Structure 1
């Protein structure tokens, strides 16, 4: 039986990736389709992709697949052929190719089986995730942005919206996708006559959100094909104005793709214009926040003076301080409230 997981340390794997000389292409894709045995599918696909030196993060569930990966450029065509041949449902699947890519987005392949490929909290047995809104291509997106009867709804988290979004897009004030779904329905109850356009990073969240809106009685619902990534790529290829402002947050080592030159957010420590996310270097925190180069130097890559002081203590003392202390989401903290509390910023009324 072949080994179906990694046995090398993260540090060694990362160093190996950084030493690679061949460029890699970063890709994201998803598909809602029925997978009868996600575990067996995971194991078979792991072997296929490992043979092609694919790195990244892939989730599988009975409802489908969600992936963010990197592929050596010389093996891209072989990867695409293998993926399309793996299951008839994946044949011809759209692959979202990263826009601002240094090829260093991932250093290991991790594949997990989950209950859902996107945690949505939906328990209604009558919900049909395939009854989605209509797709919008790049030119249609721009036309809809100029339509006074259209409302663009951003189905991403606050820290994503903060650094970039479509012009006049509505932010849903919730920390998670499962909280956003009912909130979006609630906020649009008095606007059922409006054209609703939903979008997200690569399409997976807004596609399900469009189906949820239709399930709740909204008939004029669209979502952007391939999300922000595909929209920006197609708009540039077709010589269209790119109407997304700022940076598109991505869930890998890059933490962002530059879409426009506009910097619409600010350093969370000094308020200077900045849209570079980082995780606090204190192992007892790892809060995700925006930090300018000046503050990164001042606070040694940490979110506060307390974390800066703690980060340079002996490891044993750091562990002693962390013992029993609540340490939330260590990678991508979604809570604006926790961010404000940590940085001493009052919550808006």
Structure 2
């Protein structure tokens, strides 16, 4: 039927009081969206109504339930559970958690289970640097084996742990199971670490977020042996000395003191965001300047794509002129990125009054200032909560969460609708950083194409037009070699997701759609290509 005939039929239908097929589809879609929104609202209300105030066990109660994890001997260590996670993490360890709930399962439980019986999760965030001398490699190997023992002894654990000679960086979760509560499991984990090295872990600032929704729990525990807890790629000195020695870190300010210092005049004080720009876009410390630009410390966003951009930004002449004769404050999500950054700043820029850093990061600040204090927006986190605003214990995580479009300043990278959730692992085509894409654009068939051009705000601002895949990246994505034929601009750095593992999985999925030329006679165990059902088994 031609367009002319369709229009004539539609007019005829309207005269008879009937809806055209196009209008029927539009109304059906509108009804479905309305029903889904009502269902989501009801489900979230059910979860909120079922939340009850739970108590935290005392130290004495935790002591009675503590069963120590045995520390393995060198003879007991083995490579079990080791799994390659790409070329960056060839010796990672992955262990599945014994309990894992999806958002849908939790909603179903909320309707069928009394509030006091609902499972909850807890989250533990901390880092710990080792003062000189560093751990020998033998102790790092022993710690890796001990962490595997802990995971087997406490199977309701999940999360990510980076292990290096210089210490640990930990994002951990636990969930209630038949043997232990999430609250007990995480605190017993801390006791295990203190038994392993009491001198190091007795001074650790453990940050607990208790009684969050059960779907905020990680489904597995991944242990990553790394060279550095946070890779900055600082240039080495001529004498090959450490450019960011930990004994030169800034003054650690508790949240209350940091809050008070933010009130100092902008002519004497600046506050530097040590996080990446895609994190800073969601929330930042600029509330102190709400009344007037000079009313408080001047907020500075270095606009980094990754931590290795910090040294380049700091060594610029205009940056050092900006910091001259001022008190410099630094902050990040949990505090770990400020350690090396503040040390490098003190070691490199000598004309500042003082260097200060937020102890415990934004996470600790929002715990002490539940209304937000001078922090505006949301704190992007690297766990299942995704991002947390003031007073928001559970965060935005979960499939039923919705963007708060009434208050957000960030927008969808395609339609520019107000949006503040990084969903679907969408990334910038030019530099690889996460980009914001709204639910409607993600569900649109025309926008699901892998070749769709997505640009982050930084690439738009800088006029970057060359895709990351068309550039030869070197030095861990810090340097680039442009194709000879192009005169366009490439991003100064690229963020590589997945440690090389994501690219392998993507190729495997692509190859599985292609028929193997050897067919059923293919005898290769590692062949990615598609085979007939009668493939010969080896």
Q: TM-score over 0.5 for the alignment?
A: yes
CA distance in 2: counterparts of 1:117 and 1:281, whole angstroms: 26
Number of residue pairs aligned between Structure 1 and Structure 2: 309
CA distance in 2: counterparts of 1:281 and 1:200, whole angstroms: 23
2:450 aligns to what? 307
Q: Taking structure 1 as reference, are residues 281 and 212 closer, same or farther at Cα in structure 2, changes over 3 Å only?
A: closer
- From 102, 126, 136, the equivalent of 1:29 is 126
Confirm whether residue 17 of structure 1 aligns to residue 93 of structure 2. Answer: no
**How far 1:56 moved relative to its partner?**
1.0
SS in 2 for 1:29: strand
CA distance in 2: counterparts of 1:250 and 1:4, whole angstroms: 31
2:439 aligns to what? 293
**How far 1:18 moved relative to its partner?**
1.5
| Residues 264-273 or 250-259, more deviating | 250-259
SS in 2 for 1:174: coil
CA distance in 1: counterparts of 2:194 and 2:277, whole angstroms: 35
Provide Cα deviations, 1:288-345, integer angstroms capped at 9, x if missing partner.
3212233333359xxx342399xxxxxxxxxxxxxx999973459xxxxxxxxxxxxx
Confirm whether residue 5 of structure 1 aligns to residue 70 of structure 2. Answer: no
**How far 1:4 moved relative to its partner?**
4.0
Q: Taking structure 1 as reference, are residues 185 and 206 closer, same or farther at Cα in structure 2, changes over 3 Å only?
A: farther
Confirm whether residue 74 of structure 1 aligns to residue 74 of structure 2. Answer: no
2:373 aligns to what? 242
Confirm whether residue 97 of structure 1 aligns to residue 240 of structure 2. Answer: no
**How far 1:234 moved relative to its partner?**
1.6
1:346 aligns to what? none
Supply the RMSD in Å over aligned alpha carbons.
Answer: 3.5
**How far 1:17 moved relative to its partner?**
1.2
**How far 1:219 moved relative to its partner?**
4.6
1:113 aligns to what? 225
8 Å CA contact 1:56–1:69 kept in 2: the answer is yes
Provide Cα deviations, 1:233-274, integer angstroms capped at 9, x if missing partner.
1223xxx75211111111233322223784231122221221
Contiguous gaps of at least 5 residues in structure 2: 1-75, 84-94, 107-117, 175-181, 287-297, 392-403, 453-468, 472-493, 500-538
SS in 1 for 2:169: strand
1:183 aligns to what? 313
CA distance in 1: counterparts of 2:162 and 2:192, whole angstroms: 18
* Superposition map of 1:213-292 within 5 A: 213-216=345-348, 217=350, 218-236=352-370, 242-259=373-390, 262-280=407-425, 288-292=434-438
1:347 aligns to what? none
Provide Cα deviations, 1:98-145, integer angstroms capped at 9, x if missing partner.
489434241111112111111011234143222111112222222222
Q: Taking structure 1 as reference, are residues 102 and 274 closer, same or farther at Cα in structure 2, changes over 3 Å only?
A: same
Confirm whether residue 55 of structure 1 aligns to residue 158 of structure 2. Answer: yes
Q: Taking structure 1 as reference, are residues 4 and 199 closer, same or farther at Cα in structure 2, changes over 3 Å only?
A: farther
Confirm whether residue 171 of structure 1 aligns to residue 301 of structure 2. Answer: yes
Q: Taking structure 1 as reference, are residues 99 and 67 closer, same or farther at Cα in structure 2, changes over 3 Å only?
A: same
CA distance in 2: counterparts of 1:49 and 1:77, whole angstroms: 14
Confirm whether residue 204 of structure 1 aligns to residue 314 of structure 2. Answer: no
**How far 1:210 moved relative to its partner?**
0.9
Confirm whether residue 154 of structure 1 aligns to residue 273 of structure 2. Answer: yes
1:340 aligns to what? none
* Structure of higher RCO (CA pairs closer than 8 Å, 6+ residues apart): 1
CA distance in 1: counterparts of 2:417 and 2:98, whole angstroms: 33
Q: TM-score, normalised by structure 1?
A: 0.77
2:86 aligns to what? none
Q: TM-score, normalised by structure 2?
A: 0.51
Contiguous gaps of at least 5 residues in structure 1: 310-323, 333-349
The runs of at least 4 consecutive aligned structure 1 residues that moved more than 6 Å come to 284-287, 324-328
CA distance in 2: counterparts of 1:307 and 1:294, whole angstroms: 17
**How far 1:164 moved relative to its partner?**
1.0
Provide Cα deviations, 1:138-168, integer angstroms capped at 9, x if missing partner.
2222222221121010011111011111105
8 Å CA contact 1:84–1:93 kept in 2: the answer is no
Confirm whether residue 41 of structure 1 aligns to residue 160 of structure 2. Answer: no
2:11 aligns to what? none
- From 240, 252, 264, the equivalent of 1:135 is 252
